[in-house]
Amino acid sequence: MLHIYCPHCAEYREEEEFHCAGQAHIARPLDPEACSDEEWGEYLFFRKNPRGLHHELWVHAAGCRKFFNLTRDTQSYEIKEVYMIGEQPSVVAGSVQQTTASGAKS
Amino acid sequence: MTQRNRLTSGGRIDRSTSLTFTYNGKSYQGYKGDTLASAMLANGIDVVARSFKYSRPRGIVAAGAEEPNAVLQLGATEATQVPNVRATQQELFDGLVSSATNGWPSVDTDVMGMIGKLGGKMMPPGFYYKTFMFPESSWETYESMIRKAAGMGRAPRETDPDTYDSINQHCDVMVVGAGPAGLAAALTAARGGARVIIADEQNELGGSLLNSVALLDGKPAADWVHDVVQELGTFEDVTLLPRSTVNGYHDHNFLTIHERQTDHLADSAPAKMVRQRMHRVRAKWVVLATGAHERPLVYANNDVPGCMITGAVSAYINRYGVVPGNDLVVMTTNDYGYQAALDWADAGRNVVAIVDTRSVANGDRVEAARQRGINVITGSAVIEVQGSKRVTGVSVAALNSSGTQIVGSVTKLKADTVATSGGWSPVIHLSCHTGSRPVWSDSVVGFLPGPTVQRQLTAGGINGQYETAIALQEGLDAGQQALVKLGLAVVNVILPKTKALHVAAPMSLFHIPHLKPTSQAPKQFVDYQTDVTAAGIEIACREGFEAIEHVKRYTAMGFGTDQGKLGNINGMAVAAKALNKTIPETGTTVFRPNYTPIAFGAIIGRHCGALFEPERYTAMHKWHVEQGALFEDVGQWKRPWYFPKAGETMQQTLNRECLAVRNSVGILDASTLGKIDIQGKDAREFLGRVYSNAWAKLAVGKCRYGLMCGEDGMVFDDGVTACLGENHFLMTTTTGGAAHVYEWLEIYHQTEWPELEVYFNTVTDHWSTATITGPNSRKLLAELTESDVTNDDFRFMDWKQITVAGVPARVFRISFTGELSFEINVQANYGMYVWEKLIEAGKKYDLTPYGTETMHILRAEKGFIIAGQDTDGSVHPYDLGMGWCVSNQKPFSYIGKRGMNRSDCTRENRKQLVGLKTKDPKQVIPEGSAAVLNPNAPKPLSIEGHISSSYWSESLGHSIAMGFIKGGLDKMGDTVYYPMADGTVIEAEICSPIFFDPKGERQNV
């Protein structure tokens, strides 16, 4: 069971108080009508399933009911950082792992 | 029976308190302080089980959690049956009833054993896969036969009479294991002011020190244990947990501890006591001082009762005053194995020989054995054991220096006990639970805990350090490190002095060669509990299973309830040899929670029976109960289902309730509908974005029905929202969908549209709702209010703030029945009062309470959907024929708009909601029935749709149904067929789903 720091409550609380709402930073297209079916499908259905760092949206459902983001390592389950909605993560795959010679992220 | 193997003195047992227990129906005596295993050995019980696959007799091998054979069934009554109890961990109590779990007709005379004797070819690895898979349909038959023959204990058929508990705890330092390392760590952390929990699976703290004859500060080790435990007990912030197994080490230093509070007292917990308790601990730092398990060596017939591990022999002698035999042969690859022989000799029994696989042995313990005149045979091994239900002798032969081959002739020795030590395996189970991969150490000859991200420290045996002095020092170091990490001042602890013994290097040997090749030698067991042999692992490797995980699954090695605590490393060594790899190259399988099996009761705790799930009651619940209502679970709510009168069938009740509403007036408790209070200057804009229809012009005092869709355009909830003020709305949701809808609103506001000024609060429990519906509902309401409720002043889809029965009420004139209806909302604590006033005033109108079932029928007569019943996540508003509830004029692209305009959503022939009228009006189509166009067409038939709602309508005198048909909205009047499981076919005509009052006149009167 994860131990999660709620940035709104400024406290560590048990995972039981939270819901994970999936991958973070999935922005709703500003002009949905301009999206092709394929683009809308991407927005709706396609999510990352990384081995390693993952940015997730959580809500303190049984607490303050506020949403926030966190960066979690899906292998070790470490929570690397917690940050507010609207903010960008500071721990990202490239910042930890080396990029390969071709420039692609390993 | 006499306890023929009991010593007259020594051990930590109380010889003045005699306890009676039974094993397989026979009565025996033991002492307070015994485990069931030590008492069985004291009584000379050799056979405790028949093996899983070959049905061979098995005896007690170990003295702790690693025991693979003595897994017994406990319980004096049916209700108190407990399977899977390791006799080595069960404390003896007076009246304990135990039995072997397998063997037919008994473990001593076993018929299944005959099959085993026919030889290994009968049951090779993968036997089940190879033999029982075909034909596939027969597996269930095979399975039940196999289980009956094998037997691994059984669950009780009656309800467990005991109570189980759980407790949440936090601490600075969680120390797992209370041997020398754990006690030193706990003492250091406690003295430094940390909040400490120390847990140990045994009945008293002390770990290996309780089994040892070593002296600390010149006194018995138990004296030091006693002093430390005393001192730990004086700290307010230290919790001592004996009889508590740390069974799981989960993410972020969360640990689950299984405390057996009364298992040592009686068959069932004494009155007012709890049997077991689960501690859920969040620790800032964890010190794993879990010690090590001794590895037996793998040799021919090494499963004959009397074959044990050396540490267990010492434990039974020193701790329990039990010598489990008369004539001992020790085989060891290391110095520690000698201790068993020394303890055996001290107990006054005969040590036949110590067979050391090393060609040179010169440690202090070796010298001690030689000085005592014990016959030490170096460079040799016990290659085979004689005997069937008890060891009668051993064959000893010289080994080459690498231990791969027999080089000398065979000598036979008489013995009844063989104790072996192939070294020790650190107990790394808990460190594996968090995903850490173990790392092989050549010097330790075992796997050590791997790198971890947990705030975890390790000390003692888990690090491969088996000398008491080093374990103590490592414990102290871990305690001090924890203090540093916690920011507490470091304190020192003066450790007791121990005699430093010279320990020579162990030999890395696991599998003793035989004169014959492994495949032809007598069975050499690797995993006792699952009957996996060295030959079996070799076959698996030969058949192409190279990954150790595959070898494990193919052979079942490590699959027993002991998780292969004794055998896994040996199995990996055998596999490595067969694959011509090193052990680290072969790798290891890892361990999962739980470390030892635990009772379901302990997992469930208090969350059973009435406390299984929270139950939510409305303010009028008591009234419903008194009226004899039957209840239906809707989410966590208990809703009245229907209100039967004496002698009525369910259908009769429903008919009566429906007619009452249609002809006069009925009353429904609608309090459970989700209610969300929405305020803010942008509330109206927000509603327009989350509902598919328009909200811009809804005036204060008006209500509107709305459909809520996902981004995919599919309907997931619906309800009526009332405009309470220009910037104030009350949204209602389905009963089951309330929490989800609330979170839905919040996620869009907080993550997508934070610029909108809008606030949400869930107010479901704040209000009680009594819905009165039927032609006489206005008359009834008028009796309880001064306000004007005429049709001129209080229009359909209006709401009013008025007083009902003297109580301020929000009354919504909305209808889910098609009748004139008023939903009367009052503050919840007035709910029962107003309800009773309505009931009283309603008598003259024959006011009839009705439940959810009648509500469903009444709405289906009107073709109103129920989200979740007539929607399934694959239907959009147009599929439901509810295009009227979709606005394409709204400037903002509301949730669902883009989704329902995807090409798949606009194509022809989608399944659409229609009404269905059976040809035979009496026939009610079962919900879920599939529709076909031609029931006589060749199979498989193409399915055109299904029934989502179906009822008998007493008001109409025929059955009604709603369901989906491909392109159904364009197929009015067509006939479809519903084939039933019994071969009959129900014929139905596609029609409008609005069966009753199609013009909607009745709700507008």
* pLDDT tens per residue, range B85-103: 999 999 999 999 999 987 5
pLDDT in tens, B975-999: 999 999 999 999 999 999 999 999 9
Q: A19 to chain B: which residues are within 8 Å by CB?
A: 743
pLDDT for position B138:
63
pLDDT in tens, B925-969: 999 999 999 999 998 999 999 999 999 999 999 999 999 999 999
As a whole number, mean pLDDT of residues B744-757 equals: 97
- Reported as a pLDDT band with limits 50, 70 and 90, residue B792 is very high
CA distances from B39 to B314, B569, B809, B859, B863 (A): 15, 30, 74, 70, 73
The answer to whether residues B712 and B689 touch, using CB atoms and an 8 Å cutoff, is: no
pLDDT for position B559:
86
Asked if residue B149 has pLDDT above 90, the reply is no
pLDDT in tens, B437-473: 999 999 999 999 999 999 999 999 999 999 999 999 9
Query: Is residue A64 within 8 angstroms of chain B, CB to CB?
Result: no
Task: Identify which has the larger pLDDT, A102 or B426.
Answer: B426
pLDDT for position A102:
36
As a whole number, mean pLDDT of residues B815-828 equals: 98
Give the number of other CB atoms < 10 A from CB of residue B325.
25
The token pair at B438 is: 């173990």
Query: Is residue B170 within 8 angstroms of chain A, CB to CB?
Result: no
- Partners of residue B329 on adjacent β-strands: B353, B418
As a whole number, mean pLDDT of residues B113-132 equals: 55
Query: Is residue A83 within 8 angstroms of chain B, CB to CB?
Result: no
> What is the C-alpha separation between A40 and B663, in angstroms, rounded?
51
Q: How far does A70 lie from chain B, in Å, by closest CA?
A: 14
Query: Is residue B747 within 8 angstroms of chain A, CB to CB?
Result: yes
pLDDT for position B143:
61
Q: What does the DSSP 8-state code read for residue B779?
A: H
Helix or strand run (H / E) with residue B683: helix B683-690
pLDDT for position A100:
36
Please enumerate in sequence order all residues whose Cβ is within 8 A of that of B725, keeping only pairs 6 or more positions apart, or say none. B700
Residue pairs spanning A and B at CB distance below 8 A: 63
The answer to whether residues B85 and B99 touch, using CB atoms and an 8 Å cutoff, is: no
Domains B164-292+426-486 and B296-422 are alike in CATH topology: yes
Q: A44 to chain B: which residues are within 8 Å by CB?
A: 711-712, 899
> What is the C-alpha separation between B479 and B461, in angstroms, rounded?
16
Q: How far does B971 lie from chain A, in Å, by closest CA?
A: 29
Helix or strand run (H / E) with residue A14: strand A11-14
pLDDT for position B54:
85
- Reported as a pLDDT band with limits 50, 70 and 90, residue B589 is confident
Asked if residue B562 has pLDDT above 90, the reply is no
The CATH architecture that domain B518-587 belongs to is: Orthogonal Bundle (1.10)
pLDDT for position B117:
46
Query: Is residue A78 within 8 angstroms of chain B, CB to CB?
Result: yes
Residues of chain B above pLDDT 90, percent:
90
> What is the C-alpha separation between B644 and B646, in angstroms, rounded?
7
- Reported as a pLDDT band with limits 50, 70 and 90, residue A101 is very low
Q: Where does B296-422 sit in CATH, by number? A: 3.50.50.60
Interface test with A, best of B251, B256, B437, B897 (most A CBs within 10 A): B251
Asked if residue B147 has pLDDT above 60, the reply is no
Asked if residue B139 has pLDDT above 90, the reply is no
As a whole number, mean pLDDT of residues B391-415 equals: 96
| Domain ranges (residues) in chain B | 14-150, 164-292+426-486, 296-422, 518-587, 669-858, 908-998
As a whole number, mean pLDDT of residues B271-298 equals: 97
Asked if residue B652 has pLDDT above 70, the reply is yes
Q: A59 to chain B: which residues are within 8 Å by CB?
A: 743, 746-747
pLDDT in tens, B477-514: 999 999 999 999 999 999 999 988 899 999 999 999 99
> What is the C-alpha separation between A22 and A48, in angstroms, rounded?
10
Query: Is residue B746 within 8 angstroms of chain A, CB to CB?
Result: yes
Average pLDDT, chain A: 89
Please enumerate in sequence order all residues whose Cβ is within 8 A of that of B157, keeping only pairs 6 or more positions apart, or say none. B78, B81
Q: Does domain B669-858 have CATH number 3.30.1360.120?
A: yes
> What is the C-alpha separation between B827 and B880, in angstroms, rounded?
35
- Reported as a pLDDT band with limits 50, 70 and 90, residue B111 is low
Chain centroid to Cα B870, Å, comes to 34
Q: A43 to chain B: which residues are within 8 Å by CB?
A: 711
Q: Does domain B14-150 have CATH number 3.30.9.30?
A: no
- DSSP-assigned states of every residue in B555-601: HTTT-STTTTTTTHHHHHHHHHHHHT--HHHH------S-SS---HH
- Reported as a pLDDT band with limits 50, 70 and 90, residue B137 is low
Q: How far does A86 lie from chain B, in Å, by closest CA?
A: 8
pLDDT for position A104:
37
As a whole number, mean pLDDT of residues B819-842 equals: 98
> What is the C-alpha separation between B261 and B213, in angstroms, rounded?
29
Q: A79 to chain B: which residues are within 8 Å by CB?
A: 252
Query: Is residue B873 within 8 angstroms of chain A, CB to CB?
Result: no
CA distances from B640 to B194, B814, B853 (A): 54, 21, 9
pLDDT for position B101:
84
CATH of B164-292+426-486, one of 3.60.110.10, 3.40.50.300, 3.40.30.10, 3.50.50.60: 3.50.50.60
Chain A, nearest residue to B452 by Cα:
A76
Chain A, nearest residue to B711 by Cα:
A44
- Partners of residue B440 on adjacent β-strands: B447
Asked if residue B293 has pLDDT above 60, the reply is yes
Query: Is residue B204 within 8 angstroms of chain A, CB to CB?
Result: no
Q: A21 to chain B: which residues are within 8 Å by CB?
A: 743, 747
CA distances from B870 to B7, B642, B713, B899, B930 (A): 76, 21, 15, 19, 14
What number of CA atoms fall less than 13 Å from residue B231's CA on the CB side? Answer: 14
What is the dihedral sign for C-alpha B835, B837, B840, B844? negative
Cα–Cα nearest to B520, from B533, B536, B535, B539: B535
pLDDT in tens, A9-57: 999 999 999 999 999 999 999 999 999 999 999 999 999 999 999 999 9
Query: Is residue A34 within 8 angstroms of chain B, CB to CB?
Result: no
> What is the C-alpha separation between B192 and B587, in angstroms, rounded?
40
User: Quick one: B908-998 is in which CATH superfamily?
Assistant: Aminomethyltransferase beta-barrel domains (2.40.30.110)
Chain A, nearest residue to B455 by Cα:
A78
The domains of chain A, with CATH numbers, are 3-96 (3.30.2270.10)
Chain A, nearest residue to B437 by Cα:
A76
pLDDT for position A97:
47
Please judge whether A31 and B893 are an interchain contact, meaning their C-beta atoms are less than 8 angstroms apart.
yes
Give ∠ CA B533-B536-B542 in degrees, rounded to 5.
150
pLDDT for position A99:
36
Average pLDDT, chain B: 94
